[in-house]
Amino acid sequence: MKLFTIGPTEMYETTKLIREKGVPYFRNQSFSNLMLETDAMLKRCMKTAPSSETIYLTASGTAAMEAAVDNLIRKTDRVLIVEGGGFGKRFVEICDRKGIQRDVLHLEQDECLTADHFVPFRDQAYKAVLINLHETSTGQLYDIGLLKKFCEGKETLLIVDAISTFLCDPFSMDDNGIDAVIISSQKGLCVTPGMSMVVLNHRTVTEYLKKPEEMECYYHCFADYITNMKRGQTPFTPAVGICYEIHDMLKYIEAQGLEVRLEEVREKAETFRREVKLDGIQFPAFPASNAITTVIFDRPVAKKIEAALIEEYGFVINPCGGDVAETRFRVSHVGAITVQDTVELARGIQKLYLRYQ
């Protein structure tokens, strides 16, 4: 089997070796050193100052989305959510569950986010804007410049779920005025699912973060995580093995060079898009992340092709949900897959498309 999926992705050999070593004990200096080194590397890759703080949660990305809301938004606050697919909808559901007032910037299927969409919301005093910078369910990569412009000069926190764009597309936290970034282990980092991270800039920590006594949730109180991280520890037992995998992956990326890593992903994305082209096979018109390509067929063959790809090639792709499940699927370009693998996948898709008339 070869995973052309994002979350989990096809794992690198170096990660598999770490997994084989088993899980060491962690309340000691050696683990603290590992975490502090990880944290420095993570901030460099995210292009944020050392004064930012990272919260290492043992939970999948959705918990980090919820925890960011819990720790930064109060019941009396109003937020704006960009909802252009399944993950945007998740932010809406999280806020609704907590009774937080929210406005929704809704995008229709295949609609591209533009500056005009923000006009109706311009004069509201929002505490935060919540966005999934790469809406993984559709493949749209939003223009971070639009968000930066909307929040600039206001007391509005820019909270970005960058789970499927970090380490896949160029990304800079500080240059874009992002106050909080949410990521998770199984996407661009390509390691085992189970850890997610929230990075907060200094201003957010000092001016907006809730104190422990203000928190209803005990387990995800960021202030406790920040205090513990000063000595390279987490308040509770983390997924220790995944911490080692993350450390190893960041070292690998730094040795390779972040730009080289991003270029690899870009090359696979571009190769796939070029090679899979055929009458009856298209992509959405909006800007796409290099992490995945959404493939649109002119007839309901997506499920059949998906099944045959597994059966005949051992290739696993990401299905699409909802109304488009029969006509679309998504292919990931992240992880230990080569350009050659990508070409073979494109050929396979074309062949199967022609078979299923």
Ligand X SMILES: *Cc1c(COP(=O)(O)O)cnc(C)c1O
List residues near ligand X by CB under 6 A.
7, 60-62, 87, 132, 136, 161, 163-164, 184, 187
Shortest Å, Cβ 193 to ligand X? 6
Residues 6+ apart with CB under 8 A from 206: none
Looking at the Cβ atoms of 308 and 330, the one nearer to ligand X is 330
Looking at the Cβ atoms of 14 and 60, the one nearer to ligand X is 60
Shortest Å, Cβ 165 to ligand X? 8
Q: Residue with CB nearest ligand X?
A: 61
Shortest Å, Cβ 206 to ligand X? 27
Distances (CA, A) of 239 to 17, 24, 192, 246, 263: 17, 11, 10, 11, 30
Shortest Å, Cβ 21 to ligand X? 25
CB 344 within 8 A of CB 19: no
Six-digit token string for 132: 């999934």
Residue 128 dihedral angles phi and psi, to the nearest 5°: -155, 155
Q: What is the identity of the amino acid at 228? A: N
Going by DSSP bridges, is the β-strand pair 328-332/292-297 parallel, antiparallel, or unpaired? antiparallel
Looking at the Cβ atoms of 163 and 229, the one nearer to ligand X is 163
Looking at the Cβ atoms of 132 and 294, the one nearer to ligand X is 132
Q: How far apart are CA 272 and CA 268, in angstroms?
A: 6
Would you tell me how many other CB atoms lie within 10 Å of the CB of residue 283? 15
Looking at the Cβ atoms of 89 and 210, the one nearer to ligand X is 89
Would you tell me how many other CB atoms lie within 10 Å of the CB of residue 340? 10
Shortest Å, Cβ 301 to ligand X? 25
Closest CA to 328 of 352, 356, 355, 300: 300
Shortest Å, Cβ 91 to ligand X? 9
CB 73 within 8 A of CB 79: yes
Looking at the Cβ atoms of 80 and 308, the one nearer to ligand X is 80
Looking at the Cβ atoms of 70 and 301, the one nearer to ligand X is 70
Shortest Å, Cβ 163 to ligand X? 4
Task: Give the containing element (helix H, strand E) for 129.
Answer: strand 128-132
